Structure 1
Amino acid sequence: MSQQNVEELVLVRTLNAPRELVFKVFTQAEHLVKWWGPKGLTMNVATVDLRPGGLFHYSMKLPDGQEMWGKFVFREIVEPELLVFTNAFSDAEGNTLRHPASPSWPLEILNTLLFEDDNGKTKLTMRGIPYAASEEERQTFDANRSNVQQGFAGTFAQLDEYLATLV
């Protein structure tokens, strides 16, 4: 299976907030710490450098005290309508690491987020696909599609709750 034949993971959600605000909550540290990541984890933002080649570097602390790091590397930014970035697990210094629980998970996922105005609300379309991945990594991604969808459903529910406090 070639890279081009991997089916993208596509998530679509309508958010009850104007797209300028939704874009800000995806790109500003003071907002990201309030909603990004799985429920029950404490978010810490180390860096948000919103420019092509810039980095969103963060950690998530589990209730047991374990800490996991991740990063986005921004590729394209068109405020307030488009964000393109790769995301990966990392260490505290920002070096790319393998998934802590899945050694065959792709090192990087290429994400495209489209923010569309929908009569004062925002239609968010998020597309993700393994980037420069091996056949085994693509198969792992495909096999875990429903887990990723379920995880983002929880994250987006937190986003909905947070946006309700801002509008």
Structure 2
Amino acid sequence: MTMKSEFQKDQTELVIERTFDVPRELLYAAWTSREKLEKWWGPKGYDLHVTQFDLRSDGIFLYKQQSPEGMEMWGKFEFKEIDAPRKLMYISSFSNSAGETVRAPFSSSWPLEIQNTLMFVEQDRTTKLIMRGTPLNATAEEYQTFEAAKEQIEEGFNGTLDQLESYLDDIL
């Protein structure tokens, strides 16, 4: 496994790369299956409950995360581009239980929407995941908040990708 992250100010983009020792189709399926996402997506120790999963352009992945202490947080992906098994593009946001976009519970200046592009690149018997995320339709303050949170975003995704790697190890 290799990890690389960089933050490009000119594009306000976070890029995370990680190589998994699995075929591309298996890694792609882990991102595009309701049942598989429920096994690994989200912060470590949180329970994930998927209430809606419609993998198609403009389809929604709506989920609730619950902390060990009982705190609930809702989120959603709105799928924009699906090119199996090479690419997945979606817009992520915090939401309420009805799927309506809401402000992040931790910041009034967090961007309402983040555009995420995942590329699944085959390399011999491994797959490199390239994740790109950037605020969408954000204010200057929201861009600044996103930029200032780079290390926290990276830590969060590292933990989630660790869970993905463990999940993949368990099913192989």
Regarding TM over 0.5, the answer is yes
Shift of 1:89: 0.2
1:150 aligns to what? Answer: 155
Equivalent-residue separation in structure 1 for 2:105 and 2:98 (angstroms): 16
* Structure with more contact order per residue of length (Cα contacts < 8 Å, sep ≥ 6): 1
Question: What is the correspondence of 1:26-41 to structure 2 with a 5 Å cutoff?
Answer: 26-41=31-46
1:110 aligns with 2:110: no
- 1:81 is aligned to 2:86: yes
Distance 2:139 2:12 in 1: 14
Compute the RMSD of aligned alpha carbons. Answer: 1.0
Secondary structure at 2:43 match in 1: coil
Runs of 4+ in 1 over 3 A off after TM superposition: none
Residues in 2 aligned to 1:37 and 1:118: alpha-carbon distance in whole angstroms: 26
SS at match of 2:30: helix
TM value normalised by structure 1? 0.96
Work out the CA distance in 2 between the residues paired with 1:144 and 1:113. 20
What is the number of equivalent residue pairs in this alignment? 164
2:12 equivalent in structure 1: 7
Q: Distance in 1 between matches of 2:119 and 2:11?
A: 20
Question: Using the alignment, how far apart are the partners of 1:92 and 1:121 within structure 2?
Answer: 37
Q: Which runs of 5 or more structure 2 residues have no equivalent in the other structure? A: 1-8
1:28 Cα deviation after fit: 0.5
Q: TM-score, normalised by structure 2?
A: 0.93
Aligned-pair identity in percent equals 48
